[in-house]
Amino acid sequence: MEQRKSRKILQGVVTGRSGDKSIKVIYFYKIPHALYRKEVRRRTVLHVHDEDNRCSLGDKVEVMETRALSKMKRWRVIRVIEKMPISE
């Protein structure tokens, strides 16, 4: 259990559900521009393993780095922080 403390944990928003137990999560971060020092907003798309299929589009989730689960998936869902409200 001590090794798990060193793994990266990120928060992002679910943007895609592609097949069984797979989701895409966008992780936003800010970095300073190299010349002008203004903060620039960047994003990374993470391919995430969702074992219980509990995530839906728009949910805010917490993901953890893990071993390679497939060709693209290197992350897995820890918990759903905020569910997207369902509009009717």
State pLDDT tens for residues 27-77.
999 999 999 999 999 999 999 999 999 999 999 999 999 999 999 999 999
Q: Which domain holds residue 56?
A: 3-81
Calpha distance 32→35 (Å, rounded): 9
Q: Measure the CA–CA gap between 72 and 85, rounded to whole angstroms.
A: 29
Does residue 25 belong to any structural domain of this protein?
yes
Has residue 87 been placed in a domain?
no
The verdict on residue 73 lying in a domain is yes
- Please check whether residue 23 lies inside any domain of the structure: yes
Phi, psi of 5 (to 5 degrees): -70, -25
List the CATH number of the domain containing 48.
2.40.50.140
Domain presence at residue 86: no
How many domains are there within the chain?
A: 1
Q: Which of 87, 4, 85, 39 is nearest to 76 (CA)?
A: 4
Tell me the DSSP string of 53-69. ----TT-EEEEEE-S--
Global pTM?
A: 0.84
Q: Is 88 domain-assigned? A: no
pLDDT-based confidence at residue 5 (cuts at 50, 70, 90): low
Assess if residue 7 is contained within a domain.
Answer: yes
**pLDDT tens string 10-38:** 999 999 998 899 999 999 999 999 999 99
